[in-house]
Amino acid sequence: MWGFFIGKISGMSNISPLYPSPINADLVIEARWIATVDVNQTVLENHAVVVVAETIVDLLPIHEARQKYTATSRVCLDAHILMPGLINTHTHAAMSLMRGFADDLSLVPWLEQHIWPTERVIVTESYVQDASLLACAEMLSGGITCFNDMYFYPQATATAATQAGMRANLGLLVLDFPSAYANDADDYLQKGFDAHDAWRNNPLISSSIAPHAPYTVSNQTLQKVITYAEQLRLGIHTHLHESQDEIVKSEAQYGLRPIQRLAEFGLLGPNFVAAHGVHLLANEIELLAEYGCHIAHCPSSNLKLASGIAPVAQLLAKGVNVALGTDGAASNNRLDIFSEMRLAALLAKGVSGDATVLPAHQALAMATIHAAKALGLDHKIGSIAVAKLADLTAIKLDDMVTAPYYDPISHLVYCCGREHVTHTWVAGELRYSHGIYANIEPNELKEIVNVWQPKLAQLKREQDKNER
């Protein structure tokens, strides 16, 4: 009560202010609501986040922050909710230029007849850098501050992410068949390690080893992956049980379902992120829980490719950490985590017949702190707390289509979209605000599309002609 009284009368000359020597901060963000995404699902009203350099140093009521801190930059968001930056736990950023390239197809023909043949022709280092920058722009404008990627030429993706000012965990892609990028598994690994060494001192970029999928990687290569992952202390990122076809082929070739095969090689563990996990048996869900694995749930991509619906309710019930991803724009058409949050929550309810399954706060956690945990970054990002990095997203809640609102977390998941994002900060730096990027020019993005779209359109015409 005394502190409140002093705050009210501190303008009087005979009264000392509550904080006689204001502390200088680099950034103070004042928000109507703050979704901290902590274990207690705390939502703060009329609070401020104080940032020095890249780190959150304080979280306190606005009136106290104004007395305690001066700020190089002070942002007042009186109609917004501030939340941790969204994390896209599975994507292929450089497929952004293939958005809509081969729609309305199931996974196998989509891959084998369209995507892989196109990649063999079009994918170069310059293509990956350009397409990844386009993807970074899309993600930043949708409040995504970090993404977990898997693609050819990861160094090119690192260059694009660094320009955009985004955080990225980049997969060192491994396949057994040749591409324009590498000749064989050893070549993929060596090129990946060279890239990993090149960005070792980049605070925004981290690495994982990314065997594409069990059906594209031999037993010999899997053994190398686990050996190197343990030696370098890197995570493993792969596709797993995305379609029934991959399971049938694995049983025919190896006599094992894919997850059983990976378990025998020792790949399962708390550093293992499996994208999709659509077709999992009860004992396989228990296996994932036992080993502390993570699932990157990509509901839109799974539905669009008719792969199925992941058993999210069962995974959560067994304690498996489930995060959210978009997959690539070629199989989703949007790099939009708001869409994935809403769809994941609705699918879980519809499939289970239980409206209490996957409530809004849990869907938000899947897009933030659960995703950070999957990437081994939960000590740095994924929630708003003192000593964590200031990766933050602001969403405006007073638009006509979002009014009225009673529960801001429910609104984030079921009502808001990426079009309501007004600010995106990464490591305390404002990277996107009201349609303006800090390090990306709109003309640069237009030029990228103008250069590559005609080439891809020609390839599509040739494919369509061959199919007729």
List of domains in the chain: 18-84+388-437 (2.30.40.10), 86-374 (3.20.20.140)
**pTM: predicted TM-score of the whole model, two decimal places:** 0.94
Mean pLDDT for the stretch of residues 399-428: 95
User: Is the predicted pLDDT of residue 365 greater than 70, yes or no?
Assistant: yes
Predicted confidence (pLDDT) per residue in 70-111, tens digit: 999 999 999 999 999 999 999 999 999 999 999 999 999 999
Amino acid at 407: D
Say yes or no to pLDDT of 443 above 90: yes
Q: How confident is the model at residue 21 (pLDDT cuts 50, 70, 90)?
A: confident
Taking a C-beta distance cutoff of 8 angstroms, is the pair 231, 220 a contact? no
Give me the pLDDT at residue 14, please. Answer: 35
The CA dihedral of 99, 141, 371, 221, to the nearest 10 degrees, is 40
Q: In this structure, are residues 210 and 228 in contact, taking their beta carbons and an 8 Å threshold?
A: no
User: Contact, 288 vs 281, CB < 8 A?
Assistant: no
User: How confident is the model over 232-247, as a mean pLDDT?
Assistant: 97
Tell whether the model's pLDDT for residue 55 goes beyond 90.
Answer: yes
Tell me what pLDDT residue 8 has.
30
Each residue's pLDDT tens digit, 128-141:
999 999 999 999 99
Strand order in the sheet with 294-297: 86-91, 144-151, 167-174, 205-211, 235-240, 272-276, 294-297, 321-324
pLDDT at 19: 56
pLDDT at res. 466: 81
What mean pLDDT do residues 336-353 have? 97
Mean pLDDT of 341-358: 97
pLDDT at res. 18: 56
Eight-state DSSP code of residue 389: B
Q: What residues have CB less than 8 Å from 182, skipping those under 6 apart?
A: 152, 175, 188, 191
State the CB neighbour count (10 A cutoff) for residue 404: 7
Give residue 239's pLDDT. Answer: 98
φ/ψ of residue 33, rounded to 5: -135, 150
